[in-house]
Amino acid sequence: MILVTGGAGFIGANFILDWLRERDEPVLNVDKLTYAGNLENLADLAGDPRYAFVQGDIADHGLIDALLAQHKPRALINFAAESHVDRSIHGPGEFIQTNIVGTFKLLESVRAYFATLDETKKAAFRFLHVSTDEVYGSLTADAPPFTEDTRYEPNSPYSASKAASDHLVRAYHHTYGLPVVTTNCSNNYGPYQFPEKLIPLVIANALAGKALPIYGDGQQIRDWLYVADHCAAIRRVLEGGAVGEVYNIGGWNEKPNLDIVHSICDLLDKLRPRTDGKPYREQITYVTDRPGHDRRYAIDASRIERELGWAPAETFATGIAKTVRWYLDHSEWIRNVQSGAYREWVEKNYAGRKQ
Sheet holding 254-256, edge to edge: 187-189, 221-226, 254-256
Name the 3-class secondary structure at 97: helix
Does an H or E element contain 99, and which?
Answer: none
Count other C-beta atoms under 10 Å from residue 354's C-beta: 6
At 73, which amino acid appears? P
Catalytic residue among 31, 86, 133, 314: 133
Name the 3-class secondary structure at 78: strand
Asked if 314 is an active-site residue, the reply is no
Length of the chain counted residue by residue: 355
Contact between residue 72 and residue 47 where contact means Cβ atoms under 8 Å apart: no
Query: Phi, psi at residue 247, to the nearest 5°?
Result: -130, 125
Asked if 223 is an active-site residue, the reply is no
Q: How far apart are CA 259 and CA 213, in angstroms?
A: 13
Catalytic residue among 113, 136, 158, 280: 158
List Cβ neighbours of 179 (8 Å cut-off, separation of 6 or more).
114, 122, 125, 126, 127, 173, 243, 244
Give the start-end residues of each E strand in the chain: 2-5, 27-31, 51-55, 75-78, 126-132, 180-185, 187-189, 212-215, 221-226, 246-249, 254-256, 284-287
Contact between residue 268 and residue 207 where contact means Cβ atoms under 8 Å apart: yes
Catalytic residue among 86, 134, 166, 229: 134
Asked if 158 is an active-site residue, the reply is yes
Does an H or E element contain 223, and which?
Answer: strand 221-226
Q: How far apart are CA 134 and CA 130, in angstroms?
A: 12
State the greatest distance between any 2 C-alpha atoms of the chain, in Å, as a whole number: 68
CA 236 vs. chain centroid, Å, equals: 17
Instruction: List residues bridging with 181 in a β-sheet.
Output: 128
Residues classed as catalytic: 133-134, 158
